[in-house]
Amino acid sequence: MQILKRRVLLSSSLALASVLAACGGGGGSSGSSNSGAGTPSTPTPIAATINEGNYLNAVALTGLAADRLDDVNTMIAYLYSAVIATQGLTGSYPCPLGGSVNVGLQGSSYTFTAQGCRFASYTVQSGTITATGASASLVNGVYYLMGGNFAFTDVDYLSQAQSGNQVMNGQFKLVRNGDLSLDASGQASVRRNGRTDTYTQLQVRTGTPDTRTHEVQIDKLAFRLETPRFPLALTVAGDSRTGTITATDSSSITFTQQTTAYKYELRRTTGAAPFYTATLTDSDAAFKAALEEMLK
């Protein structure tokens, strides 16, 4: 699991073969596949400030958010690929590995209602995604989603990366710029095991897509997270390689991607010298344990 991924919310480009498959989560939990609306489990209590004992929980929550945004990205990419492939005809269509999606159209709004729609990395069991005012254009042989508003309503999906069901609700807006860079904004909530993670003040800006792979670098990704899984609200701001996680008490984590790992620096207040530094890979046992804890 990269903390902030190269691929970004609301897809850089669309391909009929669903080229934007989700990144793996790296060390997901082995939880059951019960619905995200299940009975809450009891999280381990942690101190109400970022410190050397809990900072990996905040890091894991940030990586989990990036995974979920990547899920949004791939869902929308596939759905609009289906619209292009069927030339906008409504009806029920098969999903790549089983199940179906029902496509409806009213005015400028498409609705996509999933019924066990299976992909390589997740299954959308139920729920509806509504796209209003969205369009796709063919540029240099590749379809790009040019803009629109997207609403997720009770989208219940099972992610292999996160080993369990979760239910997403949210609203996202996309604006495609003349150089094919992207600006996106929105808010979302994800319910899992009876507790809800809430993401607000979401802002994404990318560079122009790579001419060969059509992937993009994240120039900016920012959001605010409130969750019962951490005692303070967290504000995250960064790009593809570095960023900062700041709690409401001004304690913070600065992370920097190195060749095969991330360097973390903890500060008690904004601008203070680091009081703790660590370098860990995604496969480190402590990181895996934190991710499993945050998925409970």
State pLDDT tens for residues 237-271. 998 788 999 999 999 999 999 988 999 999 999 89
Rounded CA separation 92/103 (Å): 6
Least confident of 17-26, 184-193, 218-227: 17-26
CATH code for the domain in which residue 145 is found: 2.40.160
Tell me the three state secondary structure of residue 152. strand
Residue 26 lies in a domain: no
In a domain, 68, yes or no: yes
3-state secondary structure (DSSP) of residue 227: coil
3-state SS class at 77? helix
User: Which structural domain, as residue segments, surrounds residue 94?
Assistant: 55-294
Q: Is residue 27 part of a domain?
A: no
Residue 25, domain member (yes or no): no
pLDDT tens for 276-293 read 999 998 788 998 899 888
The reply to whether 32 falls in a domain is no
- Asked whether 77 and 14 are in contact (CB, 8 A), the reply is yes
With 50 as the cut, is the pLDDT of residue 110 above it? Answer: yes
Q: Is residue 138 part of a domain?
A: yes
C-alpha triplet 31, 35, 36: angle, nearest 5°? 80
Report the C-alpha gap between 113 and 168 in whole angstroms.
14
The pTM score is 0.82
Give domain status of residue 33, yes or no.
no
Is 3 within the bounds of a domain?
Answer: no
How many domains are contained in the chain? 1
